[in-house]
Structure 1
Amino acid sequence: MNIAGAVLPGAAGVALVVFAVRLVREPRRLGNAVWLGVALLLTGLWLLRAALHLEWLTPLLVGLLGVAAVLVALVLPAALIANGVRMWRREGRSAGNLLSLGLGAGLLTLEALAFAPLGRWGSALVAIAAVLAGYFGFLFLSLLVYSVVYSRLGRRGGFDAIIVLGCGLNGERVPPLLAGRLDRAIRLHAREATPPLLVVSGGRGPGETVSEAEAMHAYLRERGVPDNRIRREDRARTTEENLRFSAELLPAGARRVVAVTSNYHVFRTAVECRRLGLPFHATGSPTARYFLPSALLREFAALILHYRRTTIAACVLIVGTGLALAILG
């Protein structure tokens, strides 16, 4: 094997080792997702390079890459727009619900501009936008894959306490999304020989007639959870407050704690636990499929903003490099 052929597998191996070490030390880090993404990308490039040396396999690979290009360029934006329209109709016109619609329209616009005669600087700006889209796309896919990995790592039992994060009410009724979280907590609670404490967390938001904690408490009581095993935290309005205020209600010595949320929200909850210095992990309940694209995009945006210094530095580097190449070109 020549030097060029050894670089990719070597780099992939290094990235995988770094990922494994970081995972063992602290699984609740966004950087773990990046290292996993780098390892998978380098491994994929290595396998592709090796496969292209097999003449009988080359036509098949070219066909698969063509199909993938069509899916990314046309099917993905169309699916995002369709999902955005559905979210608009079923969940309302909030900015969060329109993320998939906006992203799909943005991708189609960027693809159309790539074929437009924009001149030197216009083409340079489109190229920079395409690189930025690729960068954020890589981060999103890495986070998505690592979120699945993280969800398989947590404890399966032996909890001292279970915290259930609120997510809004319909008046005073528990909606399906929140009911899924509570049902997940009930299953974890019933599994234990010594039932753990349940902390339900959520304040009263706009349009709600009671606090989320009160509605969740009633939901648990109706399903047979003893009142003395439930504590209510009714001040929180954000994920950070859910965790911080709930931690104050835990008995001394409660270290094996799990926060129950929706599956799309698990990793950000875990990252928030780490940031707050809380030794908690997170687990998730299922979410309606139509809701997932916008929900995942919201979580991604929140994590990117959480690491905004790194994000800004990366964007400045990409834009600066692109402009420098345009000036020199």
Structure 2
Amino acid sequence: MIAFVVAAIFLLLFGAGVLRDRRRFGNAVYLGLAVTFLGLGLLAEIDAAPPGISETVMILVLLVLGLGPVVLAVLLCANGVKMVRKEGRRPANLLSLLAGLGMFGVMGLMVAAAVTHSEALGLIAVTTLLVVGYVSFLFLCFVGYAYLYGRMRLRRDADYVVVLGSGLIGGRRVPPLLASRLDRGRQVYETLAARGGDAPVLITSGGQGPDEALPESHAMADYLVERGFPAGAVVREDRSRTTEENMLFSKELMERDRPGSSCVIVTNNFHAFRAALMARRAGVDGQVVGSPTAAYFWPSATMREFVAVFLQYKVVNLGICTALILLGVLAWFVR
């Protein structure tokens, strides 16, 4: 019963947080805690279920806990190999492979501790599980809320559509990843234009990298205009080098021409929630929507986004991880 009350409290906090500002990581944590305590409450009440149901549920839970990590580790390793084959061996493309291998490593540590009956290995395994459990909980919160955020209704009062840039092929051409953002941005523009009143303005945001022949925003604008988009409805923001600068420099353009305006920001779906967090920090009044991404690209990209958000709150997160490790060290000395 207590678990249900706690779940209800966190659910209320989640609802209040969403009403206050959808672009807060705290909303993801509140939702994760609400679901966790709800699950604990349901498991605690399983004995009261009709005969046969409680046994079936417990078997399913044990199967998920026992086989789930193994299956997930295999899938992550397979995805990591595919990423390397399709996208190259850049560190960012190795994340899913490293995550899968890391899971196998943790499972191997647990097996070694159980087989050897080593007190030291057992303590290391428990401490590792605590740290991995904390990080995994935050990751699930991030993924779950990012999924919900990406399906929130498109705002209809926006004055601008801001499409975030990415790298160019050969320093000149728009790659498929960026093309999907531009196509989605055009759809959002047409939706807003159909509402009546003043037509929105589309901002292509992206500066010129050291290996690029022209600013990304210019290549993006050319892509749209060549496909029939009205040239007069495009504004180029060509100074930014990072997502944070995309937000800040686009905000300058919006405030210069339409003070107090709002916008819809377009990026790829795996990047939408982190971009929303950045928009909030930059003081941009904008909702972020995502464009489709190839399925094989999603796991590594999502992990990269999570790592960036995790480190954005590094004082709290690294502090908690350090505290868990110190707890394991203290347990070793007082055993």
Deviations 1:93-140 (A, max 9, x none): 111100000010011011011111373223212211111111111111
Report the alpha carbon displacement of residue 216 of structure 1 after superposing the two structures with TM. 0.2
Instruction: Indicate the residue corresponding to 1:175 in structure 2.
Output: 175
The TM-score, its normalising length taken from structure 2, stands at 0.93
3-state SS of 1:52 partner:
helix
What stretches of structure 2 of length at least 5 have no aligned partner? none
Report the alpha carbon displacement of residue 159 of structure 1 after superposing the two structures with TM. 2.0
The question of whether the paired residues in 2 share the 8 Å contact of 1:199 and 1:231 is answered with: yes
Instruction: Indicate the residue corresponding to 1:3 in structure 2.
Output: none
- Name the amino acid aligned to 1:16: L
Report the alpha carbon displacement of residue 69 of structure 1 after superposing the two structures with TM. 2.2
The question of whether the paired residues in 1 share the 8 Å contact of 2:262 and 2:284 is answered with: no
What stretches of structure 1 of length at least 5 have no aligned partner? 1-5
Q: Pick one of 92, 95, 108 that aligns with 2:88.
A: 92
Paired residue total: 324
Deviations 1:21-58 (A, max 9, x none): 11111211111100100000001111122123324212
Give me the identity figure in percent: 40
Does 1:43 find its partner at 2:47? Answer: no
Does 1:282 find its partner at 2:288? Answer: yes
Instruction: Indicate the residue corresponding to 2:301 in structure 1.
Output: 295
Separation in structure 2 between the aligned mates of residue 83 and residue 303 of structure 1, nearest angstrom:
22
Instruction: Indicate the residue corresponding to 1:316 in structure 2.
Output: 322
The question of whether the paired residues in 2 share the 8 Å contact of 1:154 and 1:283 is answered with: no
Does 1:82 find its partner at 2:101? Answer: no
Instruction: Indicate the residue corresponding to 1:237 in structure 2.
Output: 241
Instruction: Report the CA distance shift for 1:118/1:261 in structure 2 as closer, same or farther (over 3 A).
Output: farther
Instruction: Indicate the residue corresponding to 1:152 in structure 2.
Output: 151
3-state SS of 2:318 partner:
helix
Instruction: Indicate the residue corresponding to 1:136 in structure 2.
Output: 135
Report the alpha carbon displacement of residue 204 of structure 1 after superposing the two structures with TM. 2.2
Separation in structure 2 between the aligned mates of residue 31 and residue 316 of structure 1, nearest angstrom:
21
The question of whether the paired residues in 2 share the 8 Å contact of 1:157 and 1:188 is answered with: no
3-state SS of 2:208 partner:
coil
- Name the amino acid aligned to 1:45: L
- Name the amino acid aligned to 2:32: G
- Name the amino acid aligned to 1:64: L
Report the alpha carbon displacement of residue 206 of structure 1 after superposing the two structures with TM. 4.6
Please give the residue correspondences for 1:42-81 in structure 2 after superposition, counting only pairs within 5 Å.
42-54=37-49, 55-81=51-77
The TM-score, its normalising length taken from structure 1, stands at 0.94
Report the alpha carbon displacement of residue 186 of structure 1 after superposing the two structures with TM. 0.6
The question of whether the paired residues in 2 share the 8 Å contact of 1:15 and 1:36 is answered with: yes
Instruction: Indicate the residue corresponding to 2:7 in structure 1.
Output: 12
Separation in structure 2 between the aligned mates of residue 217 and residue 170 of structure 1, nearest angstrom:
15
The question of whether the paired residues in 2 share the 8 Å contact of 1:154 and 1:281 is answered with: no
Separation in structure 2 between the aligned mates of residue 52 and residue 234 of structure 1, nearest angstrom:
63
Instruction: Report the CA distance shift for 1:118/1:166 in structure 2 as closer, same or farther (over 3 A).
Output: farther
Separation in structure 1 between the aligned mates of residue 127 and residue 67 of structure 2, nearest angstrom:
22
Deviations 1:229-278 (A, max 9, x none): 11111121111011111111122235221110011111111111111122
Instruction: Indicate the residue corresponding to 2:20 in structure 1.
Output: 25
Moved more, 99-108 or 62-71: 62-71
Moved more, 88-97 or 115-124: 115-124
Please give the residue correspondences for 1:219-230 in structure 2 after superposition, counting only pairs within 5 Å.
219-230=223-234
Does 1:198 find its partner at 2:197? Answer: no
Separation in structure 2 between the aligned mates of residue 30 and residue 72 of structure 1, nearest angstrom:
26
3-state SS of 2:45 partner:
helix
